[in-house]
Each structure stands twice: as structure tokens, then as C-alpha cells.
Chain A
Amino acid sequence: MGLNKSRMAKLTPWYFLTIPLIIYFLWVIGPMFYTFYLSMTNWDGLSDPQFIGLKNYTKLFRDPVFFVSLKNNLIWVFSFITIPVVIGLALAMILNQSVPGSRFFKASFYSPMVLSLVVCGLVWSWLYNPAQGLLNTFFRSVGLESLAKGWLSDPDLVLGSIIAVAIWRQVGYVMILFLAGLQSVDPFLVEASKIDGCSGWKTFIHVVLPQLQPVTIVVVVISIIDSLRAFDLVSVMTRGGPFNRSSVLANFMYIVSFNNYKMGYGAAVAVILFLISFVFIMMYLSQISKEENY
């Protein structure tokens, strides 16, 4: 009886885990590994994949579009871990005070997050429309003709124009995370530093910011992962054009695989994207396990 009971106890968690794990492995974990295999094949999506070793990768490292996409992804990452983080933190600090209407302000700043990226892309394509869009109409009407540009057709502006939309949507999210983080800042320490005569800025740098470190790491990792995943905006606004100047890896991978039917090649792009993300996923996991040890 006792033996039976302890064996039962050992089996119990698996009784709950089996079905979720089977589904998770079939649709997430298994596919992840299968993409590694596919990246070493020649596959058109219909016939069986043929193993060709590392040929896709050697080809990839000679493909200029791959490098443009990679560079654009890195620009995206850099923009995401700076601009929204600074604006989001500033907004969080301000709205954490007793400002009248702070609830309304919070809700307004994070409202773009509720919209799908497709909708954001469509709405902003309209604002950017060279002939009738609000942006150029505004510049022309105030006599700044020269600032009216082809925001999505100018190869030098297109990437920045798209990233601006992504930032617009991201700021509210970062703000919310920092607002949550600020809840755990010890008010006594803040008070103490004020009594010691620290200015608001000094208190912020030496007392508040260090305590926000865990949430900052989370924000940065999430921002990096999000910017590597970027696909929807590019797909809706430019499809990577003009001349691939707004292409990112996710978009490149999609076009190679599903428009050109070079799925093995697309898988290789996906693997590279995964490997870059993996570094940051690991950082996140180690951060979490550190918190777990408290």
C-alpha cells in the first residue's frame, strides 16, 4: 500500500503534464529541431527534402540581401533598446507621481499596443502617404516643402519610418513594465536620500535606478526578442522594399520560403535568427532562475 502510494505520487504530475507536453513538443519543440535539419536540405515545400549539408549556409553568407536584413535587424534592436526604454522610463517616472489625470495618460500611451501590427502598419502607411498623408500635408501647409518626403519609398528613410511605428507601439508597453517595477522600489530609501539632501536627479540615479535593474533587464531582453521577430509591419508597409532596404530577417525568410519556394534556404535564415535570439533567451532564463532562488 505504502509503495503503491509513493509510486502514485511520483506519477501524479505526469498525469497532468502528458497531454500539454505532447502538444507542445509536436508543435513547438519538435519543429524547432526539425528546422535545423531542413536548413541542411534542398526543399521546395512539395517533394521530399534532399540533404545537401551546409550549402544553404555558404550561399547565405554570400547573399547581400541576407546582410542587409541582418544589419536592419541590428538597427532595429539598437533602436528598441534605447528610444522606447528612455521614453517609457521617463513616462513611468512622471506618471508614478500624483499627476492629475494620470490614469487617462497611462491608458492613452499604451493604447497603441492593443492594435494589431497590421492595423498600425495600415494606419501609418496612410499618414506617410506622399501625396495625401498627414505628415507631408502638414509640412507643405506650414511652408516646409523640403521636409515632405517619400517616407516609405525613399531608400534612406524607409527603415527609420517603419521603426518609428514600432517604437510608437512599444513605448506604452515599456512604460507599464517600469510602472510595475516602480511598485517594488522601497519608498523609505527614496525618502532617506531626500532627507540626506540628494536632489531628485541624484536620488533617481543612485536609489531608484539600481532597484529597477531586474525589470530593466526584462525590458531589454523583451525588446531585443521583439525586434528580432519583427515581421508584420515590414510585410504590410513595404514588403522589404525599396531595393530590400527595409528587409529584415523574418521577412527575408518568409519571401525566400513562401514566395520563391526555397524552403531549405529559408530554414537556414530561420536558424540564424534563432541562434541570435537564443543568446538572449538564455539571458532571460538565467535572470528568472536568479529570481527563483530568493
Chain B
Amino acid sequence: MKELSLPLKILIFLLLCIGVFLWLLPLGVAVITSFRTNDDLLMRGFLSLPKELSFRNYGAAWTRGNLNKFLPNSFIITIPSLTFTLFLSSLSAYALSKFRFRGRTIILSVFVGGMMLPFQILLLPVFKLSETIGIYDTYWALIAIHTAFQMGFCTFVLRNYMVTIPDSVTEAARIDGASEFRIYWNIMLPLVIPAMAAIATLEFTWIFNDYIWPLILVRTDRLMPVTAGLAILQGQYIMDWTVIISGALIGTIPTIFVFLFLQKYFIRGLTMGSNK
């Protein structure tokens, strides 16, 4: 199909333009809504030209809707989770890729199988565990489950990447008498930075966008990340869609930012897990 005729090429291009327009329409509608006032919408209908545009809804969502608290919470939860899970997965991935030992295949399968579990099978025991060890209703409850759960995917991807690094690299250091930890830290880690960057961007959006765990593990509104915070906002501003939608857009900014600037890594991360 490489030598498409020109009319066909133009037709495909036009169809794609229509497709993309329809695909992005919901987002465009959200942006327009967020700048309008509720009265303006109620009285004149959605398809009217707005009389005035303002940032007032954003202000309402930010302060009265508490997004100024929820958004930092999301970072407080996401950044440590991401750091811990990447560090721990790189340890297990190193063991699983560079050593032959009994139980290796089983451990790898357990990590891979675990990454596909429906969360529901973990909800109740993790809720109980968090209460038992006294981290229920703290950031730590969320950091712990994200770190643990994401380890499956990260270990799988990092291990697949490390397998492609020739053993001669680590062997040479071993002969020079470097300690095992030094080999991992000074030789292996720098080599897997590309894979780390790819899964870090992906994991960032996953952890940042998670909704179910804060519902289960946090009771205090003040500690909620932005996803659960938006659900609270939805309850408070039940009739005021302009404020709810503004809040939703604020909650989206960090992941959009990651996506726009790290798009290359983001896509690489997506396909790494499925297509080595």
C-alpha cells in the first residue's frame, strides 16, 4: 500500500482529520465548558456562543473544591511509590536476568501473573493489613500498595531489558573483584536507564490516576489524591458542571505534561510490557 494514489491519499487524510476531530471533541467540550459560567450555560445552551469567558471555575475548584490540597497529595503519593517500585524491581530484575538458580522461572511467573490480577482480590486483605500495621488512613498505605503492586510490571519489563545486556559486561567487573552490589549499582543500573525512563513515565500516569486504593485505604478527605478528590468535588458541586469539569482538567494537567514532554518514553513503556 505504499504507492497510494493521490486521491486515495487525500481521502484517507480527510477521514483521519474527521476521526481525530471526533476523538478530541470530548476534551474540547470540556475545555470550553470550564471557561463558561454555569448561568451562561443554563440560559443559553451549550451550542451558543458564550457571553464571557473566565477562570472563575478554576478558582472555585482550586480553593473551595480543595484541589489545592488534592493535587499535592497525588504527588506525595506518586513520587515515593514510583521511586521505591523502580528501585526494588531493578533489584529483582537483576537477580532474575543475570543469575541461574532454582525457582527463577516460578518467581518471574509470579511477578508477571501478579501484574494482571484484578485489584478486587487484594482489596480486603490489604485494607486489613494496613490497619494491622497502623498505616491505614496515611499516605504510607497507598505508597506501600502501589510500590508492591507495580513491582510485577516493572520487574517483568526491566528483566526483559537486562536479559539483552551481554553477560560479559558484568563478568568483566566480577573478575576485577567488584562486589555484587557494586556491579548492580555502578554497571547494570546506568545501562538500564532508557528502560527505567520508559516505565517511569508510564507508571507515573498509572499511579497518579489510580482511584480505587484511596477509596479503600484513606478515610480522611484531606489526604485524598486528586482522583478521589474529584469524586468528592462531584458530590459537592452536583449541579455545577462547570466547576466539576474545571477540577477534572486541573487533575489532568500533570499527566498531560508528562505525556507531551516525554511522549517518546511513554510509548516505549506501553509497548515494552507487551512486545519485547
Contacts and interface: CB of A to CB of B under 8 A. Distances in A.
A16 B93 CA distance: 9
A19 B1 contact: no
A284 B116 contact: yes
A23 interface: yes
Contacts of A104: 20
A105 B151 contact: no
B95 A17 contact: yes
Interface size class of B (residues with CB under 8 A): 35 or more
A122 B36 CA distance: 17
Contact of A20 (B89, B129, B234): B89
Interface in B96-114: 96, 99, 101, 104-105, 107, 109-114
B178 interface: no
A184 B276 CA distance: 11
B274 A123 contact: no
Interface stretch (B26-34, B49-57, B192-200): B26-34
Interface size class of A (residues with CB under 8 A): 35 or more
Interface string A207-245: 000000011001100100100110110011000000000
Interface of B: 1-2, 4, 9, 12-13, 16, 19-20, 23-27, 29-30, 33, 41-42, 45-47, 88-89, 91-92, 94-96, 99, 101, 104-105, 107, 109-114, 116-129, 144-145, 147-149, 151-152, 155, 180-181, 184, 205, 208-212, 215-216, 227-228, 230-231, 234, 241, 244-245, 248-249, 251-252, 255-256, 258-259, 263, 266-267, 270-271, 274-276
A-B pairs with lowest CB-CB distance, top 6:
A116-B209, A27-B148, A31-B125, A180-B271, A13-B95, A13-B99
23 contacts: A12-B180, A19-B88, A20-B151, A23-B151, A31-B122, A94-B12, A105-B19, A107-B263, A110-B267, A111-B24, A112-B26, A114-B255, A114-B258, A116-B251, A118-B251, A127-B29, A129-B241, A134-B25, A168-B23, A184-B275, A231-B211, A253-B120, A277-B118
